[in-house]
Amino acid sequence: MTTVVETTTSDNAIDHTELVSRAEALIPLLQKNAVSTEEHRRVDQDNIDAMDQAGLFRVSVPRRHGGFEADFRTWIAIEEALGRGDGSTAWAFSLLNIGNWFVGLYGEQAQEEIYGTAGGARTCGVFTPSGSSTKVDGGWRVTGKWGFASGSWHANWAMVGFPLTDSDGNPDVGFGMIPVSDYSIEETWFVAGMSGSGSNTVVLDDVFVPEHRVLALGASAVHGLPTPFTDESLYQAPFLAPGCLILAGPQLGLARAALDLVIEKAGRRGIAYSSYEQQTYAPTVQLAVAEAAAQIESARALVYTLCDEVTTTVAAGRTLELADRTRIRVANAYAIKTAREAIRTLVSAHGASSFANANPLQRIWRDSEAASRHAFALFETAAEVHGKVLLGVDELPTTLL
């Protein structure tokens, strides 16, 4: 059963260090439950309860609703810590966290309704427009299926993207917030990596979504976001920036977990068909560990620099222009790619036993390979978009920038 955390003024004022320390304290639990999470294809309930008790699901919630309203650096640091324990848990948390942040872009009525959910909001989401909608008095009726809703088993709200027509008859995209009572989950997440993230399919069958729970993308671009709380700079960031950055946190944690594991076991493992009884003294392993450590440190430095840039920019009331947004996306994707390469290097250094079912390294490797293929994390896609912007090509392959 989910634990409800009592919120106090002092609790709201908890700083970055305390929140990250809370996440780090959960690493042993997440490691212990990693096999269970993978086998059951959902985050172990003990993990969810522990994160809830630590207040982590309130990280991106506004202070006026009992949250911490933490900056993007704090988000990523928490995700990185969780990723050191279990990739699937970190991934599900990351997506539920960004879902809760997205609620802060809506108007006051929607925020009151969603953030006021008993036990606290946990919002999964699929931003890809799908399904169909019909305009009716007071809102829309929406039908469709939305795949890859990470954290779906533990969410109490789902945000889905769907096509709509604005008041002038122009096509637009709406993002609707749906309570768990109005949607069902179709179990479709049978995968080789990030198996426990619960990234299943959200199903709506002629569900009424009131206007106050729909954010129209085109209208928001022209008239601004519905939220009246414009002094809360965290919720003034363009979606693409935090939407990409959150995908790096779990990857950094996985890479760190791989490095720690290989170093810890090096003194107890030899190298087959060689004179090395301990990997510790083999130059090939020494070089591999050093290279991987440098790759991880480089990736971390880049991601946290991007976090600080976004936080500083929106806090100053400035706008991240198109070239800034695509640059942040490709740089973040490059960091994810670099962390993935570090894990590959470590797997090779560790040897063939990396792939034994009993070895956590094989799960770390699979989780990394799967997570790094997310559309917002894939370097090649991000590079194409940013390359077009740099070269002055007007026609871009996506409008979600």
Q: Determine what percent of the chain is predicted with pLDDT higher than 90.
A: 89
Label the pairing between strands 139-149 and 200-210: antiparallel
From the number of C-beta atoms within 10 Å of its C-beta (0-12, 13-18, 19+), residue 10 rates as exposed
The H or E element spanning position 171 is strand 171-179
Would 339 be classed as within a structural domain?
Answer: yes
pLDDT, residue 225, reads: 82
- Do 258 and 360 reside in the same domain of the chain? yes
- Taking 70 as the threshold, does the pLDDT of residue 42 lie above it? yes
Lowest mean pLDDT among 12-26, 127-141, 293-307, 330-344: 12-26
Dihedral pair phi/psi, residue 386, rounded to 5°: -70, -35
Mean pLDDT of 36-58: 98
- Do 44 and 167 reside in the same domain of the chain? no
The last residue of one of the domains, among 99, 115, 131, is: 115
- pLDDT single digits (tens) 201-245: 999 999 999 999 999 987 776 556 889 999 999 999 988 899 999
- Taking 60 as the threshold, does the pLDDT of residue 5 lie above it? no
Residue 163's SS3 state is: strand
What's the structural domain count of the chain? 3
pLDDT, residue 46, reads: 99
pLDDT, residue 221, reads: 63
Mean pLDDT of 170-191: 96
Residue 265's SS3 state is: helix
- Do 382 and 245 reside in the same domain of the chain? yes
pLDDT, residue 165, reads: 87
Cα dihedral across residues 363, 369, 375, 378: positive or negative: positive
Residue 179's SS3 state is: strand
- Written as one letter, the residue type at 143 is T
- Do 153 and 73 reside in the same domain of the chain? no
Per-residue confidence at 398, pLDDT binned at 50, 70, 90?
confident
pLDDT, residue 166, reads: 78
- C-alpha atoms less than 13 angstroms from C-alpha of 90 in its C-beta half-sphere: 35
Q: What are the residues facing 132 on neighbouring strands?
A: 143
- Do 377 and 296 reside in the same domain of the chain? yes
CATH of the domain at 151: 2.40.110.10
What domain range is 186 assigned to? Answer: 123-217
Lowest mean pLDDT among 48-62, 64-78, 231-245, 289-303: 231-245
Would 376 be classed as within a structural domain?
Answer: yes
pLDDT, residue 224, reads: 67
Asked whether 258 and 347 are in contact (CB, 8 A), the reply is yes
- Contacts of residue 323, defined as CB under 8 A and 6 or more positions apart, other chains included, come to 386, 389, 390
According to DSSP, residue 146 is labeled E
Mean pLDDT of 32-56: 98
Mean pLDDT of 179-194: 98
Q: What is the mean pLDDT of the chain?
A: 94
Would 337 be classed as within a structural domain?
Answer: yes
- pLDDT single digits (tens) 80-133: 999 999 999 999 999 999 999 999 999 999 999 999 999 999 999 998 899 999
Residue environment code for 274-287, b if the CB has 16+ CB neighbours within 10 A, otherwise e:
eebeebbebeebee
**Could you tell me the CA-to-CA distances from 354 to 277, 293, 315 in Å, in that order?**
17, 18, 45
- Taking 80 as the threshold, does the pLDDT of residue 399 lie above it? no
**Among 50, 48, 54, which Cα is nearest to 14's?**
54
pLDDT, residue 296, reads: 99
CATH of the domain at 267: 1.20.140.10
